Amino acid sequence: MTSEPVWRRALRWETGLVVVLIAVLVFGSVRSSDFLNTTTLFYVGLNMGEIAIMALPLMLIVITGEIDLSVASMLGLSGAVLGQLTADGWPVGLAMVAALVTGALGGALNGMLVARLGLPSIAVTIGTLTLFRGLAEIVLGARTITAFPASLTKIGVVPLPGTHLAYSAVIFIAAAVVFGVVLHATRAGRSIVAAGLAPEAAQFAGIRVRRLKFGLFVLSGVLCALAGILFTLKNASVSYNAGTGLELNVVAIVLFGGVSIFGGRGTVIGVVLSVIIFGTLQQVLTQMQIQPEVQNIITGVLLLISVILPNGGEAVRRIRARLRTGSGPVRAPAPPARSVTPSDSALTRQENTQ
Amino acid sequence: MTVLASPGPAGTGSRFARAGALLRAREVGIGVVLLVVFGVTTAHNHNFADANSVQQLLSGAALIAMLGVGETLVIVTRNVDLSVGSVVGLSAYVIGDLFSHHPGMPVILGFAVGIGIGAVIGAINGFITAALRVPSLVVTLAMLYIVRGVDGRVVNGVIIVPSNIPSAFVAIGFRTFLGIPWLAIIAFLIVVVVAYAMRSFRSGRDLYAIGSNPEAAALAGVLSARRVFTAFVFSGALAGLAGALFLALHAEVDVTAGTGYELLVVAAVVVGGVAIFGGSGTVVGAALGALLLNTINQALVASRVSSFWNEAIAGALLLGAIAFDRWLSLRVARGLRSAEGAHRDL
């Protein structure tokens, strides 16, 4: 696979996202004349900020061919740590540091299990999803903690002074710029893409794939903890189940942004556009008083379109070819790009001969 | 088992037999852990071994085990079905809704509707995954949202309560036969039939072939797309059936029914020794995994461990199971390699 068609396809995907975004904005302003104003801007940022922050490291992890499903549980755990320590009388600043350290430790656990022991990340992070949520439950029990200083909880009510943006949105934008530069213009960023496209080739080219993946999981833990802090302060309260189920939203945003689930492809601008589209769409639908459950349908359909479209052309070509030749070669559905380790294949070969 | 030794090339019988014994130890291992958990808990709290408590345990595990059977078929082919939780919710609600509007509806029709809904959703999943070659993780994640959204649309704030449902239907949820809950019997029958098919039918072996090596399976003439499609239809249909039984068991359904089941099922399947990247694992293991997770949950309750610990322990257990699997597969691989000599690629 050369880099040229991949690059071109990625470009086309982002163009498509811009078109979708414009369509949503036009639709929103047709529905309501005061849709395109600074209040909408503030609320989109406020609603999407934490999810968007978690989407950035997840994007990098997915590009390397792994996945992290524990993000929302880490958000909950970090919020629980922050809440409990604040209630215990710790200075809020110190409690925040403790929450971030918790995130780093949790990320290191994921990273160790995935990168060092070579366990499948989807299974590991389903495990830590449960584990982190469980730890949050142990820390907080059934309590809800609300004792946060008003000077901090104001981030859920007012924008950053001098702007119309929510605090979490500003942090996301700053982080997105850093991620964009790192992913697309530095050696480390290109290593991430290389590790996802061809793990073995990357290894032989001197990229420390395992260390890279470990680092990304730690980064994910820390940023999810940051999202947890922002989420807690925004709501001015935290209970152990804060943010339950958000992991699927984050995954949906990353995939809709054009990041390939098989790794090796994805851009920061795509993910940023995806965040904005989801945020504005949610705002439009909420203004139209459509139930959140029904909004799920739209999320799901968008996600489906985002994977069918890039594959659609190829599928049509294949079906046509088969019609022409009577019956073309029947091939298996695309196998995951993640390489099966020798021990796994030895196992499966054995199983297969039964 | 002698079956294992027969088909291998000359001189390899003992190797496969040994590796097979190790693999089978997986189901035995879960069984042992299950007995230990059960024994220790009973020693602490004698009520745990009560007929009532055991029946409750089996009924709860039956639903997840049933979903685990379908999930195993899909995961063995290197795919995954994340839509099962939403299907359970939709199926349960639609059946409940039908019963509340047509109280005279025969019970069997309720089951048919549930299985039908599940099969249709499974067919959509299977078609998009197999024919359009889209990664199933994304397809079924999207379906999870879509089906839950449709559910929300259908439910529209109205909750099904026990008085809406004919007593003959609810009876399925709590009746027992020779002391065993019907739910557990149904799940057991499904496990036995599917386990036999996966072991001895060509279609079952094809699923393993597809998951082990898709290219090789295609070259060997396996109709991969068709088999994967069927696996998804099956998983959906079982989820639909589980929805019907969810309604019978709980007799109360709102829009959140079945939420989060997808991860619970994947966890049970993985604990049961099904490799997440396909090609190996049995439905018996998956069902035992479901039973083990449920037993541990109940055991924590019975031991008066604060219920706040449940989730953390379940998570730690899952991680332990995955790590154990890895260790086991490394051992098997080492055994195969040393027995076979240098010609096997690393």
DSSP-assigned beta bridge partners for residue B160? B253
Which three-class secondary structure state does DSSP give residue B176? strand
**In this predicted structure, what is the pLDDT of residue B345?**
46
B19-333 is classed CATH 1.10.3470: yes
What are the strands, taking DSSP E only, across B289-331?
Answer: none
Q: Is B17 on the interface with A (CB under 8 A)?
A: no
Q: Is B3 on the interface with A (CB under 8 A)?
A: yes
| pLDDT more than 90, % of chain B | 16
Alpha carbon distances (Å) from B240 to A207, B63, B90, B92, B98: 47, 11, 8, 8, 15
| ipTM value | 0.75
Q: Is B209 on the interface with A (CB under 8 A)?
A: yes
Tell me the domain boundaries of chain A.
Answer: 3-322+337-352
Distance separating alpha carbons of residues B183 and B242, to the nearest angstrom: 10
- B160–chain A nearest CA distance, Å: 17
**Stronger pLDDT, A244 or A74, i.e. the higher one:** A74
Contact (CB, 8 A) for A80 and A136: yes
Write the CB contacts of B202 (distance below 8 Å, at least 6 apart in sequence): none
**In this predicted structure, what is the pLDDT of residue B24?**
57
B147 to chain A: closest CA residue = A297
Instruction: Find, among B329, B316, B253, the residue nearest to B95 by Cα.
Output: B253
- Nearest-CB residue to B150 (from A251, A297, A330): A297
Alpha carbon distances (Å) from A40 to A33, A156, A300: 12, 14, 23
Contacts of B132 in chain A (CB under 8 A): 308, 311-312, 315
- A50–chain B nearest CA distance, Å: 20
Whole-model pTM?
0.81
Q: pLDDT of A152-195, one tens digit each?
A: 888 888 888 888 888 999 999 999 999 999 999 999 899 999 99
Which three-class secondary structure state does DSSP give residue A57? helix
**In this predicted structure, what is the pLDDT of residue A132?**
94
Contact (CB, 8 A) for B75 and B278: yes
Whether the pLDDT of residue A348 is over 70: the answer is: no
Whether the pLDDT of residue A2 is over 70: the answer is: no
Distance separating alpha carbons of residues A71 and B56, to the nearest angstrom: 33
Distance separating alpha carbons of residues A304 and B31, to the nearest angstrom: 40
Q: How far apart are the first and last CA of chain B?
A: 28
Best of A200, A254, A307 to disrupt the B interface (most B CBs within 10 Å) is A307
**Stronger pLDDT, A299 or A91, i.e. the higher one:** A91
**Stronger pLDDT, B285 or A338, i.e. the higher one:** B285
Distance separating alpha carbons of residues B111 and B26, to the nearest angstrom: 34
The arithmetic mean of pLDDT across residues A222-244, rounded, is 92
Residue A33: Cβ within 10 Å count: 8
Q: How far apart are the first and last CA of chain A?
A: 36
**In this predicted structure, what is the pLDDT of residue B3?**
38
Best of A113, A247, A351, A353 to disrupt the B interface (most B CBs within 10 Å) is A351
Q: Is B22 on the interface with A (CB under 8 A)?
A: no
Angle (deg, nearest 10), helices A92-111 and A121-140: 150
Contacts of B258 in chain A (CB under 8 A): none
A340 to chain B: closest CA residue = B277
Distance separating alpha carbons of residues B37 and B25, to the nearest angstrom: 18
Best of B148, B154, B297, B308 to disrupt the A interface (most A CBs within 10 Å) is B308
**In this predicted structure, what is the pLDDT of residue A322?**
67
CATH of A3-322+337-352, one of 3.30.365, 1.10.3470, 3.40.50, 3.30.450: 1.10.3470
User: What DSSP assignment string belongs to B107-164?
Assistant: HHHHHHHHHHHHHHHHHHHHIIIIIS---HHHHHHHHHHHHHHHHHHHHTTPPB-GGG
Burial class (CB in 10 A: 0-12, 13-18, 19+), B176: middle
- Nearest-CB residue to B212 (from A334, A336, A348): A348
**In this predicted structure, what is the pLDDT of residue B303?**
72
Phi and psi (nearest 5°) for B263? -75, -35
List, as ranges, residues 35-94 from B with C-beta within 8 Å of A.
Answer: 78-80
- Nearest-CB residue to B315 (from A131, A261, A291): A131
Cβ pairs bridging A and B (under 8 Å): 260
Contact (CB, 8 A) for A71 and A247: yes
Best of A77, A253, A259, A296 to disrupt the B interface (most B CBs within 10 Å) is A296
Contact (CB, 8 A) for A313 and A320: no
Q: Residue B135 and residue A334: Cβ atoms within 8 Å?
A: yes
- Nearest-CB residue to A308 (from B134, B224, B337): B134
Q: Residue B306 and residue A141: Cβ atoms within 8 Å?
A: yes
Instruction: Find, among A130, A167, A170, the residue nearest to A152 by Cα.
Output: A167
Instruction: Find, among A155, A137, A143, A128, the residue nearest to A74 by Cα.
Output: A128
B127 to chain A: closest CA residue = A333
Residue B19's Cβ-side half-sphere holds a number of Cα atoms within 13 Å equal to: 31
- With vertex at residue B264, the alpha carbon angle to CA B259 and CA B265, rounded to the nearest 5 degrees, is 105
The C-alpha R_g of chain B, in whole angstroms, comes to: 21
Report residue A6's pLDDT band, with 50, 70 and 90 as the boundaries.
Answer: low
Query: What is the pLDDT tens value at each position of chain B, 346 positions in all?
Result: 333 333 334 444 555 565 556 555 677 777 877 888 888 888 877 777 777 777 888 888 889 999 999 999 999 998 889 899 899 999 998 988 888 888 778 888 888 999 999 999 999 999 988 888 888 888 888 888 889 888 888 887 777 777 777 877 777 777 778 878 888 888 889 999 988 888 888 888 888 888 888 888 888 878 888 888 999 999 999 999 999 999 888 878 887 888 878 888 988 888 888 878 878 888 888 898 888 888 887 887 777 776 778 778 878 877 887 787 777 777 777 777 666 554 544 4
- With vertex at residue A145, the alpha carbon angle to CA A140 and CA A150, rounded to the nearest 5 degrees, is 150
- Nearest-CB residue to B8 (from A126, A131, A353): A353
Q: Residue A123 and residue B213: Cβ atoms within 8 Å?
A: no
Q: pLDDT of B26-62, one tens digit each?
A: 777 778 778 888 888 888 777 777 777 778 888 888 8
Instruction: Find, among B24, B21, B26, B30, the residue nearest to B317 by Cα.
Output: B30
Q: Which helix (H) or strand (E) holds A39?
A: helix A38-63
Write the CB contacts of A34 (distance below 8 Å, at least 6 apart in sequence): none
- The single-letter DSSP state of residue A115 is I
Q: pLDDT of A256-302, one tens digit each?
A: 898 888 888 889 999 999 999 999 998 888 888 887 777 788 888 88
**In this predicted structure, what is the pLDDT of residue B326?**
75
- B295–chain A nearest CA distance, Å: 17
Contact (CB, 8 A) for A6 and A63: no
Q: Residue A299 and residue B346: Cβ atoms within 8 Å?
A: no
List, as ranges, residues 275-334 from B with C-beta within 8 Å of A.
Answer: 275-280, 306, 308-316, 318-319, 322-323, 326, 329-330, 332-333
Whether the pLDDT of residue A338 is over 70: the answer is: no
Instruction: Find, among B143, B169, B324, B304, the residue nearest to B243 by Cα.
Output: B169
In Å, how far from its chain's centre is CA B24? 18
Contacts of B336 in chain A (CB under 8 A): 346, 350
Write the CB contacts of B167 (distance below 8 Å, at least 6 apart in sequence): none
Alpha carbon distances (Å) from B204 to B210, B222, B227, B278, B290: 10, 11, 9, 13, 21
**Stronger pLDDT, A114 or A323, i.e. the higher one:** A114
- A353–chain B nearest CA distance, Å: 7
Instruction: Find, among B78, B68, B237, B304, the residue nearest to A122 by Cα.
Output: B78
Which three-class secondary structure state does DSSP give residue A20? helix
Report residue A11's pLDDT band, with 50, 70 and 90 as the boundaries.
Answer: low
Contacts of B275 in chain A (CB under 8 A): 344, 347-348
Q: pLDDT of A104-134, one tens digit each?
A: 999 999 999 999 888 888 889 988 998 999 9
The arithmetic mean of pLDDT across residues A40-64, rounded, is 93
Contacts of B327 in chain A (CB under 8 A): none
Alpha carbon distances (Å) from B295 to B62, B169, B261: 12, 26, 16
Tell me the domain boundaries of chain B.
Answer: 19-333
Q: Residue A135 and residue B133: Cβ atoms within 8 Å?
A: no
**Which tokens hold the place of A88?**
């215990």
Contact (CB, 8 A) for B62 and B195: no
Residue B216: Cβ within 10 Å count: 14
Distance separating alpha carbons of residues B30 and B292, to the nearest angstrom: 7
Q: Residue B7 and residue A354: Cβ atoms within 8 Å?
A: yes
Tokens 């320590």, located at residue:
A85
